[in-house]
Amino acid sequence: MELHNIWFVLIAVLWTGYFFLEGFDFGVGVLTKVLARDRSERRVLINTIGPVWDGNEVWLLTAGGATFAAFPDWYATLFSGFYLPLLIILVCLIVRGVAFEYRAKRPEEHWQRNWEHAIFWTSLLPAFLWGVIFANIVYGVRIGPDKEYAGSFFDLLNTHAILGGLVTLTLFTFHGAVFTALKTVGDIRIRARRLATTLGLVTAALTLVFLSWTQSHSGDAKSFAAMTVAVLALVAALGANMAGREGWSFAFSGVTIAATVAMLFLALFPDVMPSSLDPEWSLTVTNTSSSPYTLKIMTWLAAIATPVVLLYQGWTYWVFRKRIGTQHIAEPVHH
């Protein structure tokens, strides 16, 4: 396999890791307004992702950096064409990080409530917009002969893209509800499991329609296999959740996300951004790739750094593996 194809696969893996990890912490952020009944329960939810949310974003930075270095023309067209939604996501991620850090700095209820509003909206919007962006990438956008995006922001808000946004939003929220059931004890754990069942049914219906639409438009036998895995894994996640097997349910919801991302990248290949104006103007792994020397250097760096990152993240999740409940929430001390 040629290096540019290998790096296309590696970038798909990085996006899979990002959506698997950040997906559940986006979902938990949405659940702070949907599942939690009071301040103590909101603190429980936030504490389940408190030690890991920032580490999860390393995958996004790495995916963006790898795309810039391996496929600079793809990166340039992507970030100019999707400038507004990507800017909204960037602002959300910044505000979300500030909200996690500042929420507990003062005891006043209105102070904490405002930051909780911020956590909810800055979790919901990126979860929706990532689906809009990837649905557009796979379906094709208005790319001209100069490799530049020739459409407007409103061209991105088509029916297929909005459906893609709803799929990622519900799938991530379902993933977050399963994670909450896995990480908590008491009444909130039981309610998270019940909510996950409802969310899973909605997610299954939306995902089946979206993936079938995408498959009929640009899929092949390989993407169909990935789509089948995604649907079966989602059914298995639902079944495990209803049976009270939260660990298995979380694993299967993760497989659903991984298989969905794999299906989208398989449907995309060998293009990286198909043109809806003329297939000859599409961006491909070949015409957007960096030089073989650059890709060779990147491969060596990735081989050295990736195991270190994986070991550190694995250690973090192991250290903070215990379940928590409202009885573990101490009253904050303010000076």
Give the DSSP H or E segment for 283. Answer: strand 283-284
pLDDT for 332: 57
Whole-prediction pTM: 0.93
DSSP structure string for 66-131: HHHHH-HHHHHHHHHHTHHHHHHHHHHHHHHHHHHHHGGGS--HHHHHHHHHHHHHHHHHHHHHHH
Which amino acid belongs to residue 179?
F
Dist CA 23 CA 130 (whole Å): 10
Enumerate residues 6+ apart whose C-beta is below 8 A from 280: none
Q: Which residues of 138-162 are buried (b: 16+ CB within 10 A; e: fewer)?
A: bbbbbbeeebebbeeeeebeeebbe
Q: Is 271 in a helix, a strand, or coil?
A: strand
Dist CA 173 CA 23 (whole Å): 8
Under-50 pLDDT residues of the chain = 335
pLDDT for 54: 87
pLDDT for 333: 53
pLDDT for 334: 52
Phi-psi category of 323—alpha, beta or left, where left has phi over 0 and alpha has psi -120 to 50? beta
pLDDT for 1: 76
Per DSSP, 331 falls in state P
